[in-house]
Amino acid sequence: MKIAFYSTKPYDKIWFETLNREKYGFTIDFLESPCKESSISLARGYDAICIFVNDHVTAAMIEELHQMGVKGILLRSAGYNHVDIGAARGKIEILRVPSYSPEAVAEYAMAMLLTVNRYTHKAYTRTREFNMNINGLMGRDLFHKTAGIVGTGKIGQAMIRICQGFSMDVVAYDPYPDKNLSVRYVSKEELFRDADVISLHCPLTDETEHLINRESIGLMKAGIYLVNTSRGGLIDTSDLIEGLLGGTFAGVGLDVYEEEEGVFYEDRSNDIMMDGELARLTSFPNVLISSHMGFFTREAMEAIARVTLENARDLEEGRVLKNSVLS
């Protein structure tokens, strides 16, 4: 099988090249170009393409891939909102990595919460300049505070365990509750009203898009902490900025952003930032933004490479496609 990897970074090559050489033997060509309409022609002559979270595959692109004889789209992610699933049915298989390291993302979400709460990033900057003044760096105990977990899949469950380890009172919302989970499920509205901390761990769908908006923010108590390590589209950025200006949030940790394509994972340090809302978010002293790196651990990268290449093998050998998003 010949596979064209789009949006390749150096760390992708490290894991995929080694594992492919040791076990699979596919022909893999790594492309730095993102997958978009202007670059989809690069897939000609390949059996499959492999894409990441900020690559978008439209219906027209799927039709072009189908005409070129491409059999599959391999996702290096769990989410698949960036691919037109409906257009792919009957034409091309789409295979994802449903679980790589739930703990990696959950641990990062807690790291973001601890950072915006206890100002460790600011303390680091101060002490590097021998400014040992702690004024303005006062945080809050998490002990017995209420953590509201939105989405109780594997990552949400990992976050619940972490919060319980901090002796937090945990409530959760999920349209499909897990009856075997030791957590109290509540409505979205009750979670927004009662939580001291909200952490988002749900996929981006039509139902969850802009889950955090002016209305839901209006239900939240003043001084709440919000962390999003899932998908940027879960939050209406304009409404979030409005809430920040209104003093609703004590701290916000964002590892994802609505319009991150073309910005996240890239070095734009010498460019003028044309996205006014992203520039505005970076100006708030109580907002911490990182570049969609919650998954980025050695264990997760190994798992992503392994499952992606297993998906390719299943496709090549006509096996049951257990990780198909079309089933």
The residues carrying an active-site annotation are 231, 260, 292
* E strand or H helix at 170: strand 169-173
- For strands 27-30 and 2-5, give the pairing: parallel
- For strands 197-200 and 146-150, give the pairing: parallel
CA distance 307 to 256: 23
- Length of the chain in terms of residues written: 327
CA distance 134 to 125: 12
Q: Which two tokens stand for residue 141?
A: 């105990």
Q: Name the H helices within the chain.
A: 10-19, 59-68, 85-88, 102-118, 120-128, 154-165, 188-194, 214-219, 237-245, 276-283, 298-317
